[in-house]
Structure 1
Amino acid sequence: MIIIRTFGVILLLLGLFLAYGLSKDSRLMLFGSKIKADVIGIDSVKNKRFGYVHYPILQFNYKQKQVRLVKDLSSINPKKVPTHMEVYYEEDIGISDGFTYIYAIFSIMSIIMIIFGIIAIRTKYPH
């Protein structure tokens, strides 16, 4: 009984931790602006495992200011560099790709962990 409740608490905490990590993307999709950014270059970073990782350098106008930043959320193929990218941006929060399949998978995992954690904690067990 104590083992199952401990497992439930661990599942609940893991689910909440995962949901907290996803909250930045959620806030950006709700409160950020969807912007079409121009890709003006590539920033190549030496990586121990993969050799070099290539990140796009984005430039766009936001609230009458020109913003230039490196989108280090995901790497791109330097041979197939897109000219434009759709991103969500907010000055105080940062930049996000929006609703991607990875975001959907981790959201579902978070919800399932929270539900099963609550079920494991609240279930009555015979003595």
Structure 2
Amino acid sequence: MIIKKTFGVILLLLGLFLAYGLFKDSRLMLFGTKIKADVIGLDSVKNKRFGYVHYPVLQFNYKQQQVRLVNDFRSVDPKNVPAHMDIYYAEGIGISDGFTVIYAIFSIISMIMISFGIIVIRAKHLF
């Protein structure tokens, strides 16, 4: 019985940890400003595994100021560099690509882990 409860607590904590990690992107989508940013170049970083990873350098206007940032959350192919990217930006938080497939998958995994953790903790006769 104690093993089942411990497993439930571990599932619940892992799901809450994953949900907390996704909280930053959802804050940007809710409170950030959607901006069309121009890709002005690439920042190439040597990686041990893949050779070089290329990150887009973005430039956009935000509150009467020109902002230049490197989007190091997503790499791009140097042959197919987009001219513009739609991003969400907030000064104190940072930048986000918005609601992506990865975000959706991890949100679903987080909800499943939290719900199964609660079910295992509250159930009297599970197995």
SS in 2 for 1:76: coil
Q: How does 1:1-127 map to 2 (within 5 A)?
A: 1-125=1-125
Deviations 1:10-52 (A, max 9, x none): 0000000000000000000000000000000000000000000
Unmatched segments (≥5 aa) in structure 2: none
What is the aligned-residue RMSD (CA, Å)?
0.9
1:79 Cα offset (Å)? 0.4
Task: Extract structure 1 runs of 4+ deviating beyond 2 A.
Answer: none
SS in 1 for 2:74: coil
Q: Distance in 2 between matches of 1:54 and 1:30?
A: 28
What residue identity is the alignment partner of 2:82?
P
Q: Distance in 1 between matches of 2:35 and 2:2?
A: 50
Q: Distance in 2 between matches of 1:4 and 1:93?
A: 39
Q: Distance in 2 between matches of 1:116 and 1:35?
A: 38
Q: TM-score, normalised by structure 2?
A: 0.97
Q: Distance in 1 between matches of 2:101 and 2:67?
A: 27
Deviations 1:43-97 (A, max 9, x none): 0000000000000000000111100000000100000000000000000000000
1:125 Cα offset (Å)? 3.4
Q: Distance in 1 between matches of 2:35 and 2:29?
A: 11
